[in-house]
Structure 1
Amino acid sequence: MSRSTPAARVTAEAPRAFPTQSWIDVAVIGVLSLLGILGLETSFGDYNFLLAGLGGLLVGTAVAIIGFRLRLGVLTAVLAGILAYFLLGTPFTMPAQGLLVVLPSLESTAGLALGAVFGWADIVTLGTPVEAPYYMPVLPYFAAWLVALVSTMLASRWLPGRRRTVWRTSLLLIGPVLLYLAGILMGTDEAYYAALRGVAFAVIALVWIGWRRSGSGLAAASAASIGGAADAPRVDRVGSGRLLRRKLLGTVTLVVGAVLVGSLAGAALTPPPDNRFVLRDEIEPPFDPLQFASPLAGFRMYTKTLADTPLFTVEGLEAGDLLRLASMDSYDGKLWNVAGSSGSSGPGGSGSFRLVGRTIPEPVLATSVQNAEVTLTATGYDDVWLPGIGYPHTVDFDDADSRALAENLRYNASSGTAVFTSGVQPGYEYTIDAELQQTYRDEDLEGVPVAQLTLPTVQNIPDVVVAKADEYVGTTETPIDQLRAIEQALKTQGFLSHGLASDGAPSRAGHGADRIDELFTRSQMLGDQEQYASAMALMARSLNYPARVVMGFAPEVPEGSASVEVTGTNVTAWVEVAFEGIGWIPFFPTPDQTDVPQDQTPKPKTEPQPQVRQPPRADNEADDLLTAVEIDDSTEDEQDQGFELPAWAWAVIFGAGIPLLAFFGPLLVIAALKARRRRRRRTLGAGDRRVAGAWEELTDGYGELGFEVPARLSRRQIAEQLDAQSAAQPAGTRTALLDPPAAPTAGPPNIGLSALARSVDRAVFNGQAVDDAAVTRHWTEALASLAAVRASAGWARRLVARFRIRSTRSPRTGRPNRRGKA
């Protein structure tokens, strides 16, 4: 075979061209993927997710195209895509966490990993709009990156070498279709332009499959209609023009039909929002309030144990403002409690807590009168229930400790109650911007019915409660009049007592059925907010009114004071009843009177009893009552103390370990595979086979460095091709092997590739046994030649070569050459 001309030489540096048809495929895949990503708009609320999705499409597509042009293997291209995912993802997803916005930091690198793994579970349990955790935009970025990388690699590496049938082309639609379904399942009841996006997706996909079904047919028709018979010898100009017109007419008919059928079918078959199937409605939120004790059960702890303990300070509070702690609408005869996450059957239920970000969802039923902004700083408060005011719009954590745990905030929009699952700790500071429920006069509520809400059923209501409710209501008819009658009766007929030593009469704690029964059956009603609020709520529920008990704080705000300190004595409880179109109206049934009338019933006189002399006590009786006890002087902290890494060390390990593992992990795996390949070639088989293995190792090394190693050629022809490619490199980069020095150098001899190829052929084909010395000599020469060409290559080519692993192909068959013969 003659030596190749310089014009036909393919240098190792020249990238191969991306297939022309694949550009169209990549563009269609990108448009369809974008239509699928848009379905997440209802979950995120704004368009920050769209920037992340576009970034994922760009990164995944660019890596796949560059990998094809640089002739990277599939494994190497995937590893390069993973590296680009971490290096380029910060500005698209978490610019606030990046270094100078665009550079990855430890926090953003960790977020890119966490979002790809945990974002799928978080998005279906988060309250919308999704703003926390901070890594949530990683979800559309990761999904778009994965679809773009895989689809572009299929379009450029797999499809061009095969006949374009419908099913082969349709395989490229799997990724965009999965993105579209994810936008539906992870969205909300309100779809984002469902009909328009669905019709556009179907039209683009069908037209693309139809026109790209056969790459040759359309190209021939177009060429014949434009260039004449000379350009398309098998298709006459008239026939090709007719074929092109029929294709255009069919396309227009398909588009018009799809739009009409899609619009009509979408209008008729699209389910109403209440019947849409979305995962967030099927998956139970992870927070269950029943894991914690009822807030109302600890009411007396505030009035007794924490009476003088500063719980938190509040700035921005005005006179008359109430701080809400928890709203309870479930009663089982023992406790008023927040309904469990599985027992909150209606929109007004109190048990459905969703993870939220800085922005809080709008309340289900409320009429706002004004906005209020308060800042709370915890001092002695350490519970999971987060004190707040009104119905918050935003919650901003101001100190570093609470800001780091902001993703633990859960909120119930219907009850206006928030919880901090990790617990509010002393020192936490947060600012709430909220809207306050408008107050109404009784005259304004005369003709207003109560709201039709489905609340958890109350159980074990004492009969005396039902009877007293009927007695207090009397002849009143409207809901507001009946509720005011109950409130007024409890307020005027009862007396206030917290059960303290300073109170005039004892008052038992609790609000179970027995305690509420005792409240009405004693000669005087006696209790505090815990009992009176519980009793009124049970009376309202016995009349089928949607009522709940609210526990919170009512601090006294001095005039002109910028902040107020809240202590346990400020704890209170009240009742709220929902009115249609109005909201939850508060009622305060606890009396102000504390002077309880003394019972005038004379106490029985006691008669003295005769004294009886007791026997003397045994001397050893006191000793028998004593038991030796071993006292452990070590503290709990000393017993639990162990070696723990600081938080910054974990951040460094986690943040830097991911990109280092993504880079060096595959590098070590590929190096191990190459070492195993070299060892098998050098040690297994007869001598001629091991000599052939030296040539295979040499050509694989050239291929990994980016040289074009031709197939179906003899060793001598391959050597000539590689010599030609090396000769075409710029001056100064030729290897010592191709341009040997004038003076001999120490070490193993360097010979040209052609001479090495002839030597290998002689050893393989002469029919004589090849001894170990000849095997060692051929391997030494092959490795020396490969080391020389590596040394002349640039550092970038050497780095890429480390991530590539090439398998020698037989020159005649293209299959692995297991016999080592050319």
Structure 2
Amino acid sequence: MKRSVSLGVLVDVLQLWIAMGIAAVMLWPIYRSDSFVVLAAIAIALGTLIALAGAAFRWPGWIVFLVTVAAFALVGVPLAVPGEAVAGLLPSVDGLVDLFSSVALGWKQLLTITLPVGDYQALLVPALVLLLGGTVVAGSIAFRSSRGELAVIPPVVVFLTGIVFGPSEAFWPIPLGLGMLVACLVWVASWRWRRRRAASRRFARATGTRERRGRGQLRTVLGALLIVAVAGAGAASAAIAAAPTGERDVLRNAVPQPFDPRDYASPLSSFRSYLREGEADRTMLTVEGLPEGALLRIATLDTYDGVVYSVGSATVDSASGTFVRLPSAIDRSSVSGRRVQLTISVDGYSGVWVPTVGLLEQIDFRGDDAASLEDGFAFNETSGTAADLAGLHAGDVYRLDAVIPQQPSSGDLIDAVPGSAVVPRIAEVPDDLTSALERYTTGVDGAGGQLVAAIDGMRAEGYISHGIGEDEPASRSGHSLDRIGELFSTPLMIGDAEQYAVAAALMADQLGFPARVVMGFVPQTTESGAVEVLGSDISAWIEVDTAQYGWVAINPVPETRPIPEEEPEDPTPVSRPESIVPPPADRPDPREDQTDPDTTAEDPVAPDQTLEVLLQALRIAGISLLAVAIALSPFLLVVAAKARRRYLRRTAPTALGRIRGGWDEFADLVLDHGLQVPIAATRTEVAAVVGTLPSRVLAAVVDRAVFAPGAPAEADADRVWLAVGELRGSLDAPRTRRERLRARISLRSLGGGVRQLLRRPGRRS
């Protein structure tokens, strides 16, 4: 049936926009760009027009679908793939290919890229599909279906999609959740009210009676709004009482990331390859804009298994092992430091690790391989390590913006306190390193002071040798436990940045500082001109997390100086067995072993596993019950409101009031059970709608009590309420359990008794 533009249609349009608008806000954390705002507004408006046209011209479903696809193709490229639009307004062939391919591929790409994505490539396509398609489907249901309540389903689907594909940090969970709940309840209630009103009109036309408007309809609307308000308030109270945590499990947490560092060898294991003949003097990179003293990071390594320091591990989950695509600039406005803009040209350097500086803000690849490098680029925000699946090769050029944070001086570091960053546990440390650490820190107070003393002590005793040249003393490569133990056990401490950085990280960890090793280049720079980074500029340093300054870079490598030929007194080294590396998972974190000052470690109390399991089960059960209670709260409130109304009617102060209340209760039961009764119907007409003898008898008894002279007896009121109970059973008897439940939670009878629900018992209405 063709529907004209009426108040009902306008109400549906308004409620459609409200519901889809709330759903679009849930997509905002994924994009956070002006392009998304424009897309959302146009998609919702265009979808509404298509749904209205389909209803007005009675298009079949397949025509609505074709028109939607045509509109999607027309506006999709300028809205969702703006980089491929001709003059910013018209679709191009390449843009259409990206548009329709992203309908299938864009969803997974959203899960493998860091958020927000802005208008990167064609990642706005999923948002356009959701908002345009959801609006068309919801509008078509609302404007054409006899069950318009189902129109709330598409906005809810879009809303839930925003949660599932969004970040793990919840975005306005309580306001948006309650907003969507209230919007859907109001929309459903409005449809129920309009259906009831249409039925009353049909009955009035069929019987020749006049439909009663005004106050009764207002009460119906107010009653529905009251229930919605009470339901929203109850849900809000429950949500605040059990406020959601800052993070949640979302789909991106379960999707394999595009780059896994565990598939590649640790860059530190090839440290000395940069120092071999032919590589040491070779230009690896040419950097423009590099400030003096800046460090070029190749990779940050935080996982040590006793054999190799790596970026992530096959057995240990590490935040630094999670790489995602970088679609847009990272906001570093809150970081204090020097802003730099570098242009890096790749010469002799190659590999998947992309050298960067400081805290990366944005990167832009240039040259012939720019497209493949852009698609393969991945970044780890935790460690600042960048990688590219395509790999860097000679001739590649990229430009990056970064912030080099201000670093504390050695004097400031003395007062540093270990930070709270989480790094994988270190399995074991050599005994010789522990002995040296005790010797360096004896008499030094404070973790920061001990760290400075340990680094200074190692730098003072250490000598540099790569063990490559014929004139260099022997120096074994590698950084296993055995090699680090050898560094401290031989008469002369000889090694290079590979060994000293690992040793420093192990000592910092022993002192309670979260620590990691950074491998990169330390070029000789000036304030102007391009800098040629040579292979001999390779180095390694450590970063420790402090409570005051965050991650602080520390150079543990001794100054290059002549190595004595004569060994010190007592040159005979002590023979020690080779260190055996235990499984890392069996080694507790040393920081967790520290005893609280107010407790003793003599009598540790083993946790009661049975109690822990019981508490966890109770916690899960409590959360589940709370979730069920929140979901059922609107229905429970309806049941409670009806119970309150029944109580007020049955406890009226006079027998006549209780008799009238009994009839009102029966009339409301008739409405809730789905029988169509006009608003102005008499008691006899209501009984005729029910069509049973007991209902006609009840109508006659109530009419006699109301219109007869004198007050009715108390026993008459009791008999009326007994009859109401029996009639309720007769109304329930032929209906299924589902229909009886629907009658209990129906809102049809609550419109006219708003004031009665709020008055005190015993008062006259």
Name the TM-score, length of structure 2 as normaliser.
Answer: 0.69
2:182 is the counterpart of 1:203 = yes
Deviation at 1:54, TM superposition (A): 2.9
Alignment of 1:50-449 (within 5 A): 50-69=37-56, 72-131=59-118, 133-157=120-144, 159=145, 162=146, 168-213=147-192, 215=194, 217-219=196-198, 234-236=208-210, 239-274=212-247, 276-304=248-276, 305-340=278-313, 343-345=316-318, 349-360=319-330, 368-399=336-367, 401-403=369-371, 405-449=373-417
2:563 is the counterpart of 1:596 = yes
Measured in 1, the distance between the counterparts of 2:540 and 2:471 equals: 19
- Equivalent in the alignment of 1:579: 546
Deviation at 1:361, TM superposition (A): 5.6
Distance 1:313 1:496, change over 3 A: same
Show CA shifts across 1:344-380 (max 9, x none).
45xxx421222211312659xx963322222211122
Contact 1:399 1:428 in 2 (8 A): yes
Distance 1:183 1:234, change over 3 A: farther
Measured in 1, the distance between the counterparts of 2:519 and 2:480 equals: 16
Measured in 1, the distance between the counterparts of 2:224 and 2:198 equals: 16
- For 1:353, the aligned partner's letter is F
SS in structure 2 of the partner of residue 509 of structure 1 = coil
- Equivalent in the alignment of 2:690: none
- For 1:521, the aligned partner's letter is S
Contact 1:33 1:144 in 2 (8 A): yes
Deviation at 1:404, TM superposition (A): 5.2
Alignment of 1:9-20 (within 5 A): 20=6
Deviation at 1:216, TM superposition (A): 5.2
SS in structure 2 of the partner of residue 392 of structure 1 = strand
SS in structure 1 of the partner of residue 427 of structure 2 = coil
Measured in 2, the distance between the counterparts of 1:397 and 1:525 equals: 43
SS in structure 2 of the partner of residue 41 of structure 1 = helix
Deviation at 1:406, TM superposition (A): 1.7
Measured in 1, the distance between the counterparts of 2:119 and 2:105 equals: 12
Name the TM-score, length of structure 1 as normaliser.
Answer: 0.64
Deviation at 1:599, TM superposition (A): 4.5
SS in structure 1 of the partner of residue 369 of structure 2 = helix
Contact 2:373 2:389 in 1 (8 A): no
Contact 1:446 1:481 in 2 (8 A): yes
- Equivalent in the alignment of 1:669: none
SS in structure 1 of the partner of residue 425 of structure 2 = coil
Measured in 2, the distance between the counterparts of 1:61 and 1:513 equals: 67
Q: Which has the greater radius of gyration?
A: 1
Contact 2:418 2:512 in 1 (8 A): no
Distance 1:451 1:132, change over 3 A: farther
Measured in 2, the distance between the counterparts of 1:328 and 1:111 equals: 37
Deviation at 1:575, TM superposition (A): 1.3
Distance 1:524 1:94, change over 3 A: same
Measured in 1, the distance between the counterparts of 2:43 and 2:373 equals: 28
- Equivalent in the alignment of 1:491: 459
2:445 is the counterpart of 1:477 = yes
Measured in 2, the distance between the counterparts of 1:98 and 1:44 equals: 19
- Equivalent in the alignment of 1:556: 524
Distance 1:71 1:203, change over 3 A: closer
SS in structure 1 of the partner of residue 230 of structure 2 = helix
Deviation at 1:105, TM superposition (A): 1.4
Contact 2:36 2:119 in 1 (8 A): no
Count of aligned positions:
566
Deviation at 1:486, TM superposition (A): 1.9
Measured in 2, the distance between the counterparts of 1:591 and 1:575 equals: 13
Measured in 1, the distance between the counterparts of 2:271 and 2:478 equals: 9
Contact 2:284 2:535 in 1 (8 A): yes
SS in structure 2 of the partner of residue 354 of structure 1 = coil
SS in structure 1 of the partner of residue 287 of structure 2 = strand
Contact 2:372 2:390 in 1 (8 A): no
Unpaired runs of at least 5, structure 1: 1-14, 163-167, 602-822
Measured in 2, the distance between the counterparts of 1:571 and 1:261 equals: 63
Alignment of 1:499-510 (within 5 A): 499-510=467-478
Deviation at 1:127, TM superposition (A): 1.6
Show CA shifts across 1:123-148 (max 9, x none).
23322222475111111111112212
Distance 1:235 1:440, change over 3 A: farther
Measured in 1, the distance between the counterparts of 2:32 and 2:315 equals: 27
Distance 1:70 1:592, change over 3 A: same
Measured in 1, the distance between the counterparts of 2:469 and 2:168 equals: 56
2:435 is the counterpart of 1:467 = yes
- For 2:219, the aligned partner's letter is R
- Equivalent in the alignment of 2:762: none
SS in structure 2 of the partner of residue 540 of structure 1 = helix
Contact 1:18 1:65 in 2 (8 A): no
Measured in 1, the distance between the counterparts of 2:475 and 2:48 equals: 73
Measured in 2, the distance between the counterparts of 1:99 and 1:109 equals: 11
Distance 1:520 1:193, change over 3 A: closer
- For 2:323, the aligned partner's letter is F
Deviation at 1:104, TM superposition (A): 1.0
Show CA shifts across 1:242-291 (max 9, x none).
431222321442343244334323322331214x3433345453421111
Distance 1:342 1:334, change over 3 A: closer
Measured in 2, the distance between the counterparts of 1:292 and 1:361 equals: 29
Distance 1:503 1:307, change over 3 A: same
Measured in 2, the distance between the counterparts of 1:209 and 1:150 equals: 16
Distance 1:259 1:74, change over 3 A: closer
* Identity in percent: 32
Measured in 1, the distance between the counterparts of 2:404 and 2:364 equals: 18
Show CA shifts across 1:167-210 (max 9, x none).
x3332221111111112222234444333333332223222222
Show CA shifts across 1:376-413 (max 9, x none).
11122221111111011222234463255423222222
Distance 1:409 1:362, change over 3 A: farther
Contact 2:35 2:118 in 1 (8 A): no
Contact 1:202 1:258 in 2 (8 A): no
Distance 1:327 1:197, change over 3 A: same
Show CA shifts across 1:43-89 (max 9, x none).
22334323223333334343344445555432243233223212221
- For 1:265, the aligned partner's letter is A
Unpaired runs of at least 5, structure 2: 569-765
Distance 1:277 1:331, change over 3 A: closer
Measured in 2, the distance between the counterparts of 1:504 and 1:204 equals: 77
Contact 1:128 1:361 in 2 (8 A): no
Measured in 2, the distance between the counterparts of 1:557 and 1:519 equals: 31
- For 1:103, the aligned partner's letter is L
